[in-house]
Structure 1
Amino acid sequence: MTTRSFVPSLDDDFSWLVSSGAVTEEQLADAERRAAEEHTTTATILLNDEVIREEHVARARAAAWGTTCIENLRTERIDPALSRQRAWREYIRRGWLPVRRLDDGSILVATFVRPTDELRAEVVTELGTSDVTFAATARWGFRQAVLRTFADTVADDAANSLGRSDPLHSAQTTMSMPQKIGFGIALVALVVLLFLWPIPVLVWVIGAMSVAFLLATAFKFFISLRGSDLVERIDAEKVAALTDEDLPVYTVLVPVFREANIVGQLLGNLGRLDYPKHKLEVLILVEEEDDETQQAILDTDPPHNFHTIVIPKGQPQTKPRACNVGLEVATGEYLVIYDAEDRPDPDQLKKAVVAFQDGGEELVVVQAALNYFNDSENVLTRMFTLEYGFWFDYMLSGLDASRLPLPLGGTSNHFRVDGLKRLGGWDPYNVTEDADLGIRAAALGWRVGVIDSVTLEEANTSIPNFIRQRSRWIKGYMQTSLVHARNPMVLIREAGLIPFLAFALLIAGTPLTFLGVIPSYLATIVSVWIRDAPLTELIPYWVMWTMLFNFLIGNVLMVYVNMMGPFKRGQFHLVPWALLNPVYWILHSIAAYKALWQLITRPHYWEKTHHGLTTQKGGAADDDVDRTAAYVSAP
């Protein structure tokens, strides 16, 4: 039988709510009028006005439909022999679930969809019996009950669906067998060559590292210049012209893990979004074992359109695995990911809607810019802010303008839900699932864009926390490079040769650059200040000086682009700090070697970044300034 998605009834009789005293006649009439005007349900209006709770809706529907009622399906005993006849995704889509056999022999079926003749025929056909008893239940309680009932399957699908359907683009296997053989042969060949001709081979290796460093930094420099004069604004008149009736349902995913300390900040920040509540669903994705965060969410009593989705235990325990679960229960046409501490511009969702309307069906995701609210807390936060200014205001704009593959940032990615599902969702085994998804989209012929909206985050204030975060990012770039190097012709065929070379310089070149920083620094010290060192007797001076030249030029270029970083946002006080970029890169190099070690020993381990460490306020800032208005001309 053809699978159909549920369609919430728009004409349910909620007179029970009046007769029971839950609402007044005036409240019900007003909700029905608004529901008709805004093309939504009466229940949604009443729930978002916080006049009633979901159990009231279940009771009202039971009274209107003439069925029994299950107020909280999550606590019901569900017979696996009946429920396991279908995949959990099917129940989510169809809106009904067999619960158990009753004493009279009939099968109790929970649903939040009006049990029409069509639905009854579907259920009878699926269960193979006409003896069916329907029970009305609450919509989100239904979804959570399905996740609980199928916990083991949900965990497995969230982790392994991409690996099963598209193993070529999954990082579940770090290196394919041909890659292992190729790397093994290359390593053996290098050892043999070093043994036979140590000096010439060493010269070539050092020279190759030097050239790779210069190429990677020069590429970033020229792409940043390409993006320096681009401020691709979303037409403000188009944003203002959007009406609540025109807007689609939008899902916000917020994966959290051990972040009970910033739950209140999360609710406050997302509560500032300028989007109609009845078309905005916020799904807070919490790991099953994280009791503290779950309790913190309950204690804050979030609005009705905020829902806690408990992610079943499973491995790898990563953010993308949680997001894959959220994707399956999301009802929005569009979807965005925010981190727990994020503070997006209030109109960011509306700007994304306009971008998708203007961008055509091939535009599958748009990236908003990221910046920091604690940019001046210490030296590290200043350097982080400079880097983000360069990356999001120049680098990504330049890549977008050049139609090159665009690695997404870890948050504020806005997706077409249907396109995201066709891409296979996120790769739970890739620890930079965002960058991977942007490249995968390009490899499959989709387009990734940027929008002129800003999300403020918390910059790392401590070096150990920075190393944890940055080592994960660099390891993810290594994983993404290995994944797309398995069959580079796929990316070349879909995106083109130039985009493939750009991918190689940016995604593969970034880890190689950082791995080369410390050796290059040491070689520089040796060649300039320790002229009698043994190394200078082995390697010709022209090689050492060429490497030094490339290294210095590369650093000058990166200092310059980091100086550009704060200009578009008027953060001129940060410009002098860009001179410390060579020192900042030492931290990146340390993180790169940690990333390489973890790629070998713990490729899928997710290094958690601790949030809520800043002493500065700003996650729930007390002003509503449009930060995109701060753009000024770049140098």
Structure 2
Amino acid sequence: MLVRTYRPCQPQVTRSRERIGEALVSRGLLRPEDLERALEYQRRTGDRIGRILIALGLVKRQQLYQVLAELWGHPYVDLLREPLDARLARLFDPEALVQRRCFPVRRVGNEVFVATAEPPGAELEEYIRSVLGSVTVRPLVTSEWDIDYAIRTIFRDLVLDRAALGLYYRSPDESARQVLVRWQKVALALLLILVAAGLLMVPTRTAVIASALVNSVLFVFVLFHFVVAMAGAKHEHVQAISPEEVQALRDDELPMYTVLVPVYREANVVPHLIENLRNLDYPASKLEILLLIEEDDEETLAAAKAARPPETVTFIVVPNGLPKTKPKACNVGLLFARGEFLTIYDAEDRPEPDQLKKAILAFRKGSPDLVCVQAALNYYNATENLLTRMFTLEYSYWFDYVLTGLDRLRLPIPLGGTSNHFRVGRLRELGGWDPFNVTEDADLGIRAAARGYRVGVINSTTWEEANNHVGNWIRQRSRWIKGYLQTVLVHTRHPLRLVRTAGIRNTFGFVLLIGGAPFAFLSLIPLWSLTLTWIVTRTHAFDILFPPVVLYISLFNLLIGNGVMIYLGMLAGFKRRRYQLIPFALLNPFYWILHSIASYKAVWQLITKPFYWEKTRHGLSRYLETGSAASVAAE
């Protein structure tokens, strides 16, 4: 075996930040005026000069670390070309290597050569010896990028295993890997037997009981939504951050922030994504953007490289394996995240530039149990067609009234799929995302509440692309509803434990919000079918199904319930000042029929392929290409 011998450079006495800049200038790698620019940036942000130079694109990463190697008095190593000792490396935990910014390269006798992106010192030696015992540590210098590459290469299978099964290993009861636990299977079987027996033996009474139950649940569901929305209307944002507060925030107070961007088969959107991320108002040297690209998605990877992203963007290749879901990719990103806070954006997202700063302020103003804050989502192509208009009204109602109302009432908040901002330490404590739940965001919000944490909202918006094709919309919505069903099944596995930890009030809110939505959608087609049949035929055959009390509740749901939902849709249009959308709220009852169709597809997929992630196609809107989205968002 070929063993490379490293000869340490002569150590330098002075290791000041200015010395790094001077060394780069003296070697012709940095212009003096660029150094002055970086030093001014450093005075404002308090960050390391090396990180600043890379973030501003003033020096190549490899060149910087080669100079640092000279200043630190240790050899430079390129881990992309260096033979790596996999057996040695696998004695270490990859997460610890990421956070410590080091990687064991090889061992020669009692000497261990360790690549590091940090100034070598006693802490590095203590860590290596805590794993290997009494050895002599020989530091090598490399970049964080090289270290991440080496970890992804050597620990590929372990990274995949932890991303896919980490939550299941830690807490199987919180994972959707098993659709139904034993008692749920027994209960479902008994319910089906009971209903079948009732229909055979006492069909009329069984039908009346079913009608009463369905209409009663719908009544409570509508009432719950109205109360929550009114709470949201009265107190629009618990964590309202003013422009003055954002303006007063100093850059040197800001922590490292990680942005995860999972993409799959979205080569057409990547150039727009890179441009949108450039617009974030956050110090570039304190921003870590991880673009999560699936291993088999060469087209998107090529498009991302061609877009020439800034140095703050790192490509993380997600190992190919099942389940092939967004939460699995996010778990891979979480392993490599070095920020104190973290958020997720989708490929087509256009967050408001100050959103990260608002999230920081919200966490500072919030209580210690605040684990996440959710920004509002809305659509830049709202007026593209009828479907986008209805979708925009729905999202405006959900994020501007429902989530705000839940926050106001201190009820569990199901997160949106993007623009949720986390404390990274708490997120890791929660186990990250469940790769087997296809609405991992909602599940994580409920899991946080079940463990006694809070989720809040902030007054910031991320603009997205509304689905403008019915087929694409149904694919997306059926996945969401399937995920809601998964979430209900997971978090009701131990009902008494849920009540003890979350409380009766939170449990009731969770069941109504997450379980009530699929129930309501599934009931729509049968109820509307009965109603239309009666209107057309004027038959009295259904009279027996609706005794007086049930009839009154049914009429309330039909007239008042639909009226309330139409009214709330109109309120959403007023809130966003999209007055041209308000008349379309009258079409809400017909829009819900699409939800009902999607819900039946969701149930079928829950039975046949529960973990299948039905891909939503992005980049279909004409506004994406014409560049007019900004004007639409500003309506």
TM-score > 0.5, shorter chain as reference: yes
Q: 1:337 to 1:620 in 2, by over 3 A?
A: farther
- The equivalent residue for 2:185 is 180
1:181 deviates by 1.4
Q: Alpha carbons of 1:569 and 1:255: their partners in 2 closer, same or farther (altered >3 Å)? A: same
> 3-state SS of the aligned residue for 2:135?
coil
Mapped pair 1:52 → 2:66 = no
SS of the residue corresponding to residue 623 of structure 2 reads coil
Maintained 8 Å contact 1:108/1:133? yes
Find the counterpart in structure 1 of residue 542 from structure 2. Answer: 536
User: 2:347: which partner in 1?
Assistant: 340
Distance 2:352 2:372 in 1: 18
**CA RMSD of superposed structures (Å):** 2.3
Residue 5 of structure 1 is matched in structure 2 by none
Return the match for 2:97 from 75, 91, 95: 91
Taking the TM superposition and a 5 Å limit, the aligned residue runs for 1:278-357 are: 278-357=285-364
- Asked if the contact 1:431–1:606 (Cα under 8 Å) also holds between the matched residues in 2, the reply is yes
Distance, in Å, in 2 between the alignment partners of 1:456 and 1:581 is: 22
Whichever residue aligns with residue 82 of structure 1, its letter is L
Deviation at 1:13? Answer: 5.0
Measure, in 2, the Cα distance between the counterparts of 1:139 and 1:359: 33
Are 2:247 and 1:237 equivalent residues in the alignment?
no
Q: Which residue of structure 2 aligns with residue 206 of structure 1?
A: 211
Deviation string, structure 1 residues 15-59 (Cα, Å, up to 9, x no partner): 542343111455446535643653321111111221111111221
- The gaps in structure 1 that reach 5 residues or longer are 1-8, 631-635
Given that residues 382 and 632 in structure 2 are in contact (C-alpha distance below 8 angstroms), is that contact kept between their aligned partners in structure 1? no
For 1:576, the equivalent position in structure 2 comes to 583
Distance 1:577 1:626, change over 3 A: closer
1:349 aligned partner, one-letter code = L
* Counterpart in the other structure of 1:189: 194
Alignment partner of 2:413 out of 398, 406, 415: 406
Determine if the alignment matches structure 1 residue 249 to structure 2 residue 256: yes
In 2: Cα distance, 1:623 partner to 1:179 partner: 48
How far the C-alpha of 1:111 sits from its partner, in A, is: 1.4
Retained in 1: the 8 A contact 2:272–2:348? yes
- Structure 1 counterpart of 2:105, one-letter code: V
Aligned counterpart, 2:86: 80
3-state SS in 2 of match to 1:369: strand
Map of 1:134 onto structure 2: 139
Aligned pairs for 1:514-525 (under 5 A) are: 514-525=521-532
Say which is worse superposed, 322-331 or 28-37, in terms of deviation: 28-37
**8 Å contact from structure 2 (residues 291, 313) kept in 1:** yes
Provide the rounded CA distance (Å) in 1 between the counterparts of 2:340 and 2:122.
28
Structure-2 residue corresponding to 1:6: none
The code of the aligned residue for 2:178 comes to T
TM-score using structure 2 length: 0.92
Is the CA contact 1:342–1:619 (under 8 Å) kept in the aligned structure 2?
no
**Which stretch has the larger CA shift, 544-553 or 250-259?**
544-553
| 1:148 equivalent in structure 2 | 153
Q: Tell me which moved more, 495-504 or 433-442.
A: 495-504
Cα pair 1:457 1:619 within 8 Å, conserved = no
Q: How does 1:534-573 map to 2 (within 5 A)?
A: 535-536=541-542, 539=545, 542=548, 547-573=554-580
Deviations 1:273-297 (A, max 9, x none): 1111111111111111111111111
Which amino acid in structure 2 is aligned with residue 340 of structure 1?
A
Give the 3-state SS of the residue equivalent to 1:174 in structure 2.
coil
| Cα shift readout 1:308-334 (whole Å, capped 9, x = no counterpart) | 111111211111111111112112111
* Paired AA for residue 518 in structure 2: P
Q: Partner amino acid for 2:347?
A: A
Does the 8 Å contact 1:511/1:592 carry over to 2? yes
Q: Give the 3-state SS of the residue equivalent to 1:52 in structure 2.
A: coil
Matched, 1:20 2:27: yes
Aligned partner of 1:199: which letter? T
For residues 383-427 of structure 1, what are the alpha-carbon distances to aligned partners after superposition, in whole Å with 9 as ceiling and x for unaligned? 001101111111111111111111111111011111111111111
Cα 1:417–1:266, aligned 2, differ >3 Å: closer, same or farther?
Answer: same
Aligned to 1:274: 281
Partner in structure 2 of residue 441 of structure 1: 448
CA deviation map 1:461-509 (0-9, x unaligned): 0000000000011011101111111112333223321221111111000
Q: 1:106 to 1:389 in 2, by over 3 A?
A: same
Is the 1:374–1:618 Cα contact (8 Å) retained in structure 2?
A: no
Distance 1:340 1:76 in 2: 34
Change (3 A) 1:525 1:122: closer
- Structure 2 Cα separation of the partners of residues 276 and 309 of structure 1: 22
Q: Distance in 2 between matches of 1:230 and 1:383?
A: 25
Any idea what SS the aligned residue of 1:612 has?
Answer: coil
Deviations 1:67-109 (A, max 9, x none): 22223x244432221111122112112222122346x884432
Aligned to 1:216: 221
**Superposed displacement of residue 438, structure 1:** 1.1
TM-score (norm 1): 0.92
Q: For 2:497, what is the secondary structure of its paired residue?
A: helix
Give the deviation of 1:172 after TM superposition: 1.4
Cα distance in structure 1, aligned partners of 2:29 and 2:197: 82
Tell me whether 245-254 or 371-380 shows the greater mean CA deviation.
245-254
SS at match of 1:301: coil
Match of 1:100 in 2: 106
Query: In 1, distance between residues paired with 2:556 and 2:591?
Result: 20
- Which moved further from structure 2: 29-38 or 595-604? 29-38
Paired position in structure 1 for 2:162: 157
Shift of 1:619: 9.3
Counterpart for residue 469 of structure 1: 476
The correspondence for 2:272, drawn from 245, 265, 268, is: 265
**Matched residue, 1:633:** none
In 1: Cα distance, 2:191 partner to 2:547 partner? 28
Measure, in 2, the Cα distance between the counterparts of 1:502 and 1:122. Answer: 47
Letter in 1 for 2:92: R
Are 1:459 and 2:459 matched, yes or no?
A: no
Whether the 8 Å contact between 1:211 and 1:550 is mirrored in structure 2 is no
State which drifts further: 307-316 or 609-618: 609-618
State how 1:353-392 maps to structure 2 within 5 Å: 353-392=360-399
Distance 1:222 1:105, change over 3 A: closer
> Contact between 1:456 and 1:619, CA under 8 Å: does it hold in 2?
no
Which digits, 9 at most, give the CA deviation of each residue in 1:174-209, with x for residues without a partner? 111111111112222222222221110111112211
What CA distance in whole angstroms lies between the structure 1 residues aligned with 2:77 and 2:464? 41
Q: Is the 8 A contact 1:12 1:64 kept in 2?
A: no
Alignment equivalent of 1:508, drawn from 508, 512, 515: 515
**CA offset at residue 221 of structure 1?**
1.7
Aligned residue in 1 for 2:6: none
**Distance in 2 (alpha carbons) for counterparts of 1:624 and 1:385:** 16
Deviations 1:122-156 (A, max 9, x none): 32443345344332111122113202211111011
Q: Do residues 417 (structure 1) and 424 (structure 2) align? A: yes
In terms of mean alpha carbon deviation, does 31-40 or 129-138 score higher?
A: 31-40
**Structure 2 segments unaligned to the other structure (5+ residues):** 1-14
Match of 1:119 in 2: 124
Q: 1:457 to 1:262 in 2, by over 3 A?
A: same
Which amino acid is the alignment partner of residue 512 of structure 2? L
Deviation at 1:571, TM superposition (A): 0.5
Alignment of 1:36-51 (within 5 A): 38-51=45-58
In 2, the alpha carbon distance for the partners of 1:111 and 1:218 equals 59
